[in-house]
Amino acid sequence: MRANPIFILFCLVLLVACTDGRNAVKLHTSQIFVFGTLVDITFWDVDEALRERVVAVISQDFQRMHHEWHPWNPGPLLTLNQALARGEAAEAPDSLIPLIIQSRDLSAQSGGLFNPAIGSLLQLWGFQSSERPQGPPPSAEMIAAWRGQAPAMTDLELDGRLLRSRNPAVQLDFGAYAKGYAVDVAISHLQQRGIDNAIVNAGGDLRAIGSKDGQPWRIGIQHPQGEQEKLYAWLDVSAGEAVFTSGNYRRYREDQGIRYSHILDPRTGMPVDGVTSVTVIHHSGAIADAAATALVVAGPEQWEATALAMGIDQVMLVDDGGVVHMSPKMQQRVHFQDAPAVLKISEAFADEP
Ligand code: AMP
Ligand code: MG
């Protein structure tokens, strides 16, 4: 594990604000606090009454998802996980069923690198907590014991709403993908009400529909330089695209100068090492979110094969050495503020349309 990497990318994707007077009148942003983050909903040319109505609906829906999907606060997911640990079948709440089905497929595509069945490992590492975990990491024996149980989404059987697990070590935690799923739900609420031009930005992860004044939405990618945040790159986001970033810069465990990532490798039970961040663009927020996490686990050696297996062709991976790895489609649209010292364009995607 590298201590204090010199180059820490902070991929907080922010809207590049537009400031001219006419835009200021038609551009509005509402904020909701949920999932431990501020969610900005930015509208282009939508009247106030409609904005207020849709923000109220999205807010209510987000709060419900937050409660029903929370892995450690009392609620339906915790109850479900407790039943699975006892080896019992239990009814999954309606809102969890599509998550279980889709994340099972995504987990399979990622070769198990994205694995929402690793709740007990996240708990072992102290990441199922609102506080930053303190103290030494779990012992090698505890991690080996977890590895021996190898919980996976393939252990689950869903029969209607009835969920059972062949493996009592399966504990569901959708932290790597629920935000993407929720952003998709919010976009559907907007579209159902005839709103065509908006961005839903959940703490830097976002999905955009339509455009702003006929122009694509332009978003910035930032990273800190000392105490300052500096614009790192920008790109235009077209209709319906989601941009999701996973990384170690916001959540981690630190002990004796060693930083442990909150993204864990299900093959080893250990935090991922060597990747600062991965940004993925895809038309689905849920898929982009799951893939960004999977590609952090895949790392500089395996990200291309994993992306191809997951149907992802727009990726930027920044490794701990500051080397920027990109798929050609991503490279075509990202504009760096200062060119990275080392940029590697993948050839694995060369024959992709
Ligand atoms: P994200 O910020 O989307 O990459 O999600 C990171 C969160 O996903 C972590 O804080 C954990 O709750 C969870 N997680 C960590 N590693 C994995 C993994 N390999 N597969 C699925 N979820 C994970
Ligand atoms: Mg993710």
pLDDT by residue (tens digit) across 176-221? 999 999 999 999 999 999 999 999 999 889 999 999 999 999 998 7
Q: Which atom of ligand 1 is nearest to the CA of 113?
A: 19
The rounded Å distance from CA 176 to ligand 1 centre is 4
Best residue among 244, 263, 284, 297 to mutate for probing ligand 1's pocket (most ligand atoms within 8 Å of CB) is: 263
Q: What average pLDDT score do residues 72-100 get?
A: 96
The rounded Å distance from CA 194 to ligand 1 centre is 34
Q: Is a pLDDT exceeding 50 seen at residue 223? A: yes
The rounded Å distance from CA 176 to ligand 2 centre is 4
3-class state of residue 76 by DSSP: helix
Q: What average pLDDT score do residues 273-294 get?
A: 95
The rounded Å distance from CA 110 to ligand 2 centre is 12
116 in ligand 1 pocket by Cβ < 6 Å? yes
173 in ligand 1 pocket by Cβ < 6 Å? yes
Using pLDDT thresholds of 50, 70 and 90, give the confidence band for residue 332: very high
Q: What average pLDDT score do residues 230-240 get?
A: 86
Residue that is written with structure tokens 């999907």 in the block: 69
181 vs 18, higher pLDDT = 181
Beta pairing, strands 270-271 & 264-265: antiparallel
Summary mean pLDDT of the chain: 89
The protein residue with its alpha carbon nearest to ligand 1, atom 1, reads: 176
Using pLDDT thresholds of 50, 70 and 90, give the confidence band for residue 44: very high
Q: Which ligand is nearest to the CA of 111?
A: 1
Overall size of the chain counted in residues: 353
Best residue among 115, 131, 132, 262 to mutate for probing ligand 1's pocket (most ligand atoms within 8 Å of CB) is: 262
Name the helix (H) or strand (E) containing 294. Answer: helix 285-309
Using pLDDT thresholds of 50, 70 and 90, give the confidence band for residue 90: very high
| Residue 230 and residue 337 in contact, taking contact as beta carbons nearer than 8 Å | yes
Lowest-confidence segment of 34-38, 115-119, 249-253, 271-275 by average pLDDT: 249-253
The protein residue with its alpha carbon nearest to ligand 1, atom 8, reads: 176
The half-sphere exposure of 221 on its side-chain side, counting CA atoms within 13 A, is 28
Nearest to 311 by CA among 295, 299, 323: 295
Q: Is a pLDDT exceeding 90 seen at residue 156? A: yes
The rounded Å distance from CA 109 to ligand 1 centre is 16
10 vs 57, higher pLDDT = 57
The rounded Å distance from CA 37 to ligand 2 centre is 14
Q: What's the pLDDT score for residue 22?
A: 54
Using pLDDT thresholds of 50, 70 and 90, give the confidence band for residue 338: confident
Q: Which atom of ligand 1 is nearest to the CA of 296?
A: 4
The rounded Å distance from CA 47 to ligand 1 centre is 37
Q: Which atom of ligand 1 is nearest to the CA of 294?
A: 19
313 in ligand 1 pocket by Cβ < 6 Å? no
At a CB cut-off of 8 Å and minimum separation 6, what does 21 contact?
none
Buried b or exposed e, range 269-302, using 16+ CB within 10 angstroms: bbbbeebbbbbbbbebbbbbbbbbbbbbbbbbee
264 in ligand 1 pocket by Cβ < 6 Å? yes
Using pLDDT thresholds of 50, 70 and 90, give the confidence band for residue 351: low
pTM over 0.85: yes
The protein residue with its alpha carbon nearest to ligand 1, atom 10, reads: 262
The rounded Å distance from CA 293 to ligand 1 centre is 6
Give CB contacts under 8 A, 24+ apart, made by 316-320: 316/278, 316/279, 317/275, 317/277, 317/278, 318/7, 318/9, 318/275, 318/276, 318/277, 318/278, 319/274, 319/275, 319/276, 320/2, 320/5, 320/7, 320/273, 320/274, 320/275, 320/276
Q: Which ligand is nearest to the CA of 306?
A: 1
The rounded Å distance from CA 157 to ligand 1 centre is 22
Using pLDDT thresholds of 50, 70 and 90, give the confidence band for residue 229: low
Lowest-confidence segment of 80-89, 272-281, 297-306 by average pLDDT: 272-281
Q: What average pLDDT score do residues 133-137 get?
A: 86
Q: Please list the helix, strand and coil fractions of the chain in percent, rounded to the nearest 5, in that order.
A: 35, 30, 40
Q: Kindly state the percentage of the chain with pLDDT values over 90.
A: 75
Q: Which atom of ligand 1 is nearest to the CA of 71?
A: 12
Q: What's the pLDDT score for residue 77?
A: 97
Lowest-confidence segment of 14-28, 123-137, 311-325 by average pLDDT: 14-28
